[in-house]
Structure 1
């Protein structure tokens, strides 16, 4: 499988990444590393690609889907960092989800 994981450096995403790599799958992670940690990911693995970016960046999301052509998508990117900046969290959680879902639909995932 070719699995795109948003929020892949977070708690859920990094654990799933480890399992999928151990099973021999290819994994592409999109993470902005605001709450996720690079140290949660394998140092170097031939089946792993990591892109630092935001799900709110529609052009980036579209490029990643087109280049990687995932067979599966796990959308675990979410923002909850600052209750006083709820607008930015909303952009991540709503706009980002829309971008991922629309790109998956176009890609036939």
Structure 2
């Protein structure tokens, strides 16, 4: 059995790749290495360097067989999504649709989608926030993640796609880039190491 992991050279995706390898799967990583790092790809995984634009993706996956897709490739910086919503939508939303079209052409193998918890619910009024709470994304990044979940629902309804969307929140750990919009735990740790205060909103 082979799994295709998009974004598998990134922080979360590389750990996912390790787990699949440990479970005996064959692993193909697809990553454009714009933020992911080649050294994050675990030994034993095949690496295809490509983005999710339609023609490039079609060429990159020609002849590659897989029984499961784990989609972690994304533009993850909320600030970038605010500064350039078109770029964010091209990567996060159109990239997903391009991938889903490849999946549909291959008979719809199941898809695991890396969504996001915090950006979907906005300033939640109920803590802990239940999954069914109203979705009020406050950034283009959150809007793209929510729209992506709707696209998955559409492909499930019309094409029989089996999928699951994982709404991660504040993931942290080894290989995380502490710069930029890396996640609050890494940011707080970095500030603590520099003797700086941590500002909490909410």
TM-score interval for Structure 1 and Structure 2 normalised by the shorter chain: 0.7 to 0.9
Which digits, 9 at most, give the CA deviation of each residue in 1:9-33, with x for residues without a partner? 1122101100111222111111111
Structure 1 alignment gaps of length 5 or more? none
Q: Does the aligned pair in 1 maintain the 2:41–2:47 contact within 8 Å?
A: no
RMSD of aligned residue pairs (Cα, Å): 1.6
Aligned to 1:34: 34
What does residue range 1-109 of structure 1 map to in structure 2 within 5 Å?
1-42=1-42, 44-45=43-44, 48-56=45-53, 58-81=54-77, 82=80, 83-108=82-107, 109=109
Q: Which has the larger radius of gyration?
A: 2
Give the number of the structure with larger relative contact order, counting CA–CA contacts within 8 Å between residues 6 or more apart. Answer: 1
Could you list the structure 1 runs, at least 4 aligned residues long, displaced by more than 3 angstroms after superposition.
63-66
Q: Distance in 1 between matches of 2:4 and 2:61?
A: 8
The two structures have a TM-score, normalised by structure 2, of 0.48
Q: If the length of structure 1 is used for normalisation, what is the TM-score?
A: 0.85
More helix by percentage = 1
Count how many residue pairs are aligned between Structure 1 and Structure 2: 105
